[in-house]
Amino acid sequence: MKGHKLLKPIAQQKRSIPKFAYAALAVVALATASLTGCTANEGKTVTIATHDSFVISEAQIAEFKKETGLTLKVVRAGDAGELTNKLVLTKGTPIADAYFGIDNTFMSKATANGVVSTQQAVDFGDVCMNYDTYWFEENKVAAPTNWQDLVKPEYQNLTVVENPNSSSTGLAFLATTVAQLGESYGDYWKALKDNGVKVTAGWEDAYFTEFSGSSGKGSYPIVLSYSTSPAYEIREDGKPQTASLNENCFRQTEFAGVLKNAKHPNNAQKVVDYLLGDSFQSSIAESMYVYPQELYPNGIPADWAKWGKAANSTVGQDLNFDADREKWLDTFNSIFG
C-alpha cells in the first residue's frame, strides 16, 4: 500500500476546482463589474436629495410630472448637517441630481467642497426667543424685550434653550450671540448659565416638554423657538398665549439647486424651478412651517400674518460657519461642560 500512487495525500493529487465554484465567482464578478452602469429610464426621472423635514405631496409630484414629463424621486438623507456631509462624501457620484435643504449654516461647507452647481433660496425661518405671556401676567414680572435681557436677575431659571451641538435652532442662537456681541459672546453665555438656563438636546424637548406656553405645560416660560410659533398657540379668545421677541433674530435660509456631477442637470434645474414656483411655494408654510422665499409676505396662513410674522431685524448673515462653527461650539462646551 505504501507508495501506491492513489494513496498519496489528497493535497498532492491532480484535481480541479468544481465547476460551480468558477461559475459562482464569475457570476459575482460580472455583477460587480456591472455596477457602474444601469440607470433605468434615462432622461425620464430626476432625483432630489433633501433633509428629513422635506414635504411634498403626491398631488405635487403628479403636477410636476404633468408639467415636465419627469418622475421625481426623493432621497431623504438626515437633517441638514447630515445631508450636507453625505453630499460631500459622495460628490464624485452624487446620490441625486438636485438638492433641497442645505441652509446658510452649511452652504459654505458645501461650496468649499465643490458639491453644488447652483443655489437659490427657497424658504427661510427666523429663530427668536418666545415667551409665555400668561405666566408673566400671573407672576407680575415684566416680559423681556430682547434676548440680551435674559441674563438679568428677574429672569433667573426661566429660560430653556437647545444644545447647539445637536440642534440647528441652538446653533442659530449661538451664532446670533456671536454676531451681536463679538468677542464677549462667551461672557453672555457664562452669565446665562449662572442665571439658570436649561439646555435640552433638541427643539421638540424644549418646546413641547419644558416650555410652559405649549402643550407640555413645563416650568420654563421663555424658550428658544421660531417667530411663527405663537401662531400655533392661539387660545379661546383668539389671541396667542405666547409672543416672539422679533429683534435681532437669526434667519435660517434654505437653499435648493443642482448638484455638481449630477447625471441629469437639466432635469435638476426643472425641479428647482418647480420648487420656486407658486404652486409649491404656497404649500411651504403649512407643511414645513417656514416662510416661502418667493411669496412672502403673501402665501402664508392668516394666523401667521397676524401673530407669526417674520422678524423685524436679523443678524448673522456674514458669519463664516464652516470656518468658525467648531470654535463657537468649543466655547459653548467649555462653559456647559
Partner 1 sequence: MRASRLAQYSAALVFIGFLFYLPLVGIFAFGFSSEFSTLGDPDFWSGGFASKLASTLWFTVWQATTSTLLVVVTGMPIAYLLYRKRFAGQRAIRVLITVPFILPILVIAIAFSTFRKLNTGIAAVDAVITNPVFLIISAHVFINLALVVRTVGSTWLGLADSLDEAAALDGAGRLRTFWSVTLAQLTPSVVASATLVFAYTSASFAVVLVLGGGLVQSLETSIYESALIYLDLGKAAVLALCQLLLTALAFWLADAFGKQARIDFADSESGFDTDNHAAGHSTRKPVDKRDLPAIGFGLVIALFFVLPIWNVFQQAFTYGNTFSFTNFYNLLSGGSSGLLDISLGQALGNSVRNTIIATVASLLIGVAVAWLLVHTKRGLFNRILDFAYLAPIGVSTVLLGLGYLVTFSQEPFALRASWFVVPLVETLLALPLVVRMVYSALAGIERVLLDAARLDGANSAKLFWQIELPLIRPTIEVAAGFAAIIALGDFGASAFLAFGDQETLPLVLFRLFSHPGASNYGMAMAMSALLIVVTALTLLAVSLRTTRSIQR
CB of 229 to partner 1, least distance (A): 15
CB of 93 to partner 1, least distance (A): 4
User: Under the criterion CB under 8 A, does residue 108 sit at the interface with partner 1?
Assistant: no
What the block records as the C-alpha cell of 274 is 418647480
Closer CB to partner 1, 99 or 131, in the complex: 99
Span near partner 1 by CB under 8 A; candidates 81-89, 125-133, 247-255, 312-320: 81-89
User: Under the criterion CB under 8 A, does residue 109 sit at the interface with partner 1?
Assistant: yes
User: Under the criterion CB under 8 A, does residue 246 sit at the interface with partner 1?
Assistant: no
Q: What are phi and psi of 116, to 5 degrees?
A: -110, 145
CB contact burial 233-251 (16+ within 10 A = b; e otherwise): bbeeeeebbbbbbbbbbbb
CB of 285 to partner 1, least distance (A): 14
Distance CA 300, CA 284 (A): 8
> Minimal CA–CA distance to 49: which of 88, 81, 95?
95
Q: Which residues contact 178 (CB under 8 A, 6 or more apart)?
A: 185, 316, 319, 324, 328
Among 76, 193, 260, 306, which residue sits at the site for partner 1 (rule: CB under 8 A)? 76
Closer CB to partner 1, 145 or 320, in the complex: 320
Give CA separation, 103 vs 84, 118, 167, 199, 257, in Å.
9, 13, 13, 23, 12
Closer CB to partner 1, 20 or 182, in the complex: 20
Report the length, in residues, of the chain: 337
User: Under the criterion CB under 8 A, does residue 65 sit at the interface with partner 1?
Assistant: no
Closer CB to partner 1, 56 or 158, in the complex: 56
Cis peptide before 297 (omega within 30 of 0): yes
CB of 9 to partner 1, least distance (A): 8
Per-residue binder mask for partner 1 (CB under 8 A), 151-170, x = binder: ---------------x----
Give CA separation, 323 vs 79, 164, 197, 334, in Å.
20, 16, 28, 19
CB atoms inside a 10 Å sphere around CB 308: 24
Distance CA 186, CA 192 (A): 10
Closer CB to partner 1, 82 or 303, in the complex: 82
Distance CA 175, CA 188 (A): 12
CB of 321 to partner 1, least distance (A): 13
Size of the site for partner 1 (CB under 8 A): 55
Distance CA 177, CA 329 (A): 12
Per-residue binder mask for partner 1 (CB under 8 A), 44-63, x = binder: ---x-x--x--xxxx-----
Closer CB to partner 1, 144 or 164, in the complex: 164
Residues found near partner 1 in the complex (CB under 8 A) = 6-7, 10-13, 15-21, 24-25, 27-29, 31-32, 34-36, 38, 47, 49, 52, 55-58, 73-78, 81-82, 85-86, 88-93, 95-96, 109, 166, 201, 204, 287, 330
